A and B are shown apart, each in its own frame.
Chain A
């Protein structure tokens, strides 16, 4: 079955860059699905960050677009998130997701990775 697993530092300093990688198993990163990121600050709701297709096409949340880059590594069947100039407001659980067919919805989620922004 399809499985997604986030990995990366759990602590990032203010003004630094948050970097996470999502390893995909049970599906190919070059399938007809999109691959994305969602975050959830402690005690709050879900916020869509952005997503990418294996061709390199991407879409981002306008509120984060200036700080976000999502990339794909076809050789490793994984995709990554970089969020720059982080502040405490970026502290959240970050989920990687599979966006089925690019229109259906997020049918598979990683378990989530807590990233804390603190000095």
Chain B
């Protein structure tokens, strides 16, 4: 089975900061990588698919990059409403989520 490892597990940043979350797959997953945002008490929201394609309605401050086994989610300018836990997911073989990265606002 494909394992997904995210880092860091949590981070604290100020409004306006650039934030980067990494996700590593245990094997090559080509471009079958998606990202989700989960706000407290809510269902996850689909952010990015195919490594870098933004889902409709997602602010352009969110971006994704990477290939093969190493991937990155970047928030270019952190906003208060970005307080959430972010999960990566591989859709190459069955489905696996990373363990999540909790983003807090300083």
Task: Report whether A109 and B43 are in contact in the complex, using a CB–CB cutoff of 8 Å.
Answer: yes
Assembly CA distance A25 to B45 (angstroms): 18
Q: What range describes how many residues of B lie at the interface?
A: 20 to 34
Q: What range describes how many residues of A lie at the interface?
A: 20 to 34
Interface flag for A103 (CB, 8 Å): yes
Task: Report whether B97 and A46 are in contact in the complex, using a CB–CB cutoff of 8 Å.
Answer: yes
What 1/0 mask marks residues of chain B from 62 to 106 whose CB sits below 8 Å from any chain A CB?
000000000000000000000000010101001111111000000
Question: Known: A48-B97, A105-B89. Contact between A110 and B43, CB under 8 A?
Answer: yes
Q: Which residue of A lies closest to B6 (CB)?
A: A45
Interface of B is mostly: loop
Binding site for A on B (CB under 8 A): 1, 32, 34, 36, 38, 43-46, 49-50, 55, 87, 89, 91, 94-100
How far in angstroms is the closest Cβ of chain A from B102? 10
Question: Known: A104-B91, A106-B46, A110-B43. Contact between A62 and B1, CB under 8 A?
Answer: yes
| Residues of A contacting B87 in the complex (Cβ-Cβ under 8 angstroms) | 45-46
Task: Report whether B100 and A111 are in contact in the complex, using a CB–CB cutoff of 8 Å.
Answer: no
How far in angstroms is the closest Cβ of chain B from A77? 20
Q: State which of B34, B43, B100 has its C-beta within 8 Å of the C-beta of A105.
A: B34
Interface flag for A95 (CB, 8 Å): yes
